[in-house]
Amino acid sequence: MRDENLNSWEARADAHSMYGFTDLPTIENRGATILTHGDGPYVYDVHGKKYLDGNSGLWNMVAGFNHKGLAEAAKAQYDRFPGYHAFFGRMSDQTVILSEKLIEVSPFESGKVFYTNSGSEANDTLVKMLWFMNKAEGNPQKRKIITRINGYHGVTAVSASMTAKPYNEVFGLPLDGFIHTDCPHYWRFGQDGESESDFTLRLARNLEALIVSEGPETIAALVAEPVMGAGGVIPPSKGYFQAIHPILKKYNIALIADEVICGFGRTGPIWGCQAYDFMPDAIISSKNLTAGYFPMGAVILGPNLANKIQMAAESVEEFPHGFTASGHPVGCAIALKAINVILNEGLIENVQALTPKFEQGLAELAKNPYIGEARSKGLMGALEAVMDKDTKTPFGPEANVSEKIANTCSDFGLICRPLGQAIVLCPAFVMTEGQMNEMFEKLTQALTKVFSEIT
326/394 same-domain check: no
What is the percent of the chain where pLDDT is above 90?
98
- pLDDT value, residue 329: 98
Tell me if 267 is assigned to some domain: yes
Partners of 424 in the β-ladder: 382, 417
The CATH number of the domain where 52 resides is what? 3.90.1150.10
- pLDDT value, residue 13: 94
- pLDDT value, residue 342: 98
What is the percent of the chain where pLDDT is above 70?
99
- pLDDT value, residue 5: 84
Question: Phi-psi bin for 369: left (phi > 0), alpha (psi -120 to 50), beta?
Answer: alpha
Confidence of residue 1 (pLDDT cuts 50, 70, 90): low
Please state, rounded to an integer, the average pLDDT across all residues of the chain: 97
Tell me how far apart the alpha carbons of residues 267 and 248 are, in angstroms, rounded to a whole number: 24
Confidence of residue 230 (pLDDT cuts 50, 70, 90): very high
> Residue 412: is its pLDDT beyond 90?
yes
Tell me how far apart the alpha carbons of residues 18 and 40 are, in angstroms, rounded to a whole number: 28
> Over the stretch 140-182, which tens digit does the pLDDT of each residue have?
999 999 999 999 999 999 999 999 999 999 999 999 999 999 9
311/182 same-domain check: yes
Mean pLDDT of 2-22: 89
74/43 same-domain check: no
> Residue 444: is its pLDDT beyond 90?
yes
> Over the stretch 97-125, which tens digit does the pLDDT of each residue have?
999 999 999 999 999 999 999 999 999 99
Range of the domain at 84: 70-344
Q: Which residues contact 283 (CB under 8 A, 6 or more apart)?
A: 106, 107, 256, 257, 259, 263, 271, 273, 299, 300, 302
Q: Are 237 and 272 in contact (CB under 8 A)?
A: no
Tell me if 24 is assigned to some domain: no
Residue that terminates a domain, selected from 296, 315, 344: 344
Task: Compute CA distances 249 → 149, 272, 443, whole Å.
Answer: 21, 20, 44
Tell me if 428 is assigned to some domain: yes
363/302 same-domain check: no
Task: Compute CA distances 107 → 87, 138, 382, whole Å.
Answer: 27, 30, 28
Instruction: Give the H or E element holding residue 403.
Output: helix 401-411
Mean pLDDT of 62-91: 97
Residue that terminates a domain, selected from 344, 361, 379: 344
421/330 same-domain check: no
> Over the stretch 321-369, which tens digit does the pLDDT of each residue have?
999 999 999 999 999 999 999 999 999 999 999 999 999 999 999 999 9
Tell me if 376 is assigned to some domain: yes
> What total number of domains does the chain contain?
2
181/246 same-domain check: yes
173/228 same-domain check: yes
Tell me if 160 is assigned to some domain: yes
> Over the stretch 366-402, which tens digit does the pLDDT of each residue have?
999 999 999 999 999 999 999 999 999 999 999 999 9
Coil vs helix vs strand at 383: strand
The CATH number of the domain where 303 resides is what? 3.40.640.10
Residue that terminates a domain, selected from 322, 344, 366: 344
- pLDDT value, residue 427: 98
Confidence of residue 4 (pLDDT cuts 50, 70, 90): confident
136/166 same-domain check: yes
Tell me if 268 is assigned to some domain: yes
> Residue 447: is its pLDDT beyond 70?
yes
Range of lowest pLDDT (19-33, 41-55, 99-113, 293-307):
19-33
Tell me if 209 is assigned to some domain: yes
Coil vs helix vs strand at 249: helix
> Over the stretch 179-228, which tens digit does the pLDDT of each residue have?
999 999 999 999 999 999 999 999 999 999 999 999 999 999 999 999 99
> Residue 2: is its pLDDT beyond 70?
no
269/359 same-domain check: no
Mean pLDDT of 435-448: 98
- pLDDT value, residue 455: 84
Q: Are 26 and 37 in contact (CB under 8 A)?
A: no
57/83 same-domain check: no
Tell me if 228 is assigned to some domain: yes
354/260 same-domain check: no
- pLDDT value, residue 30: 93
- pLDDT value, residue 452: 96
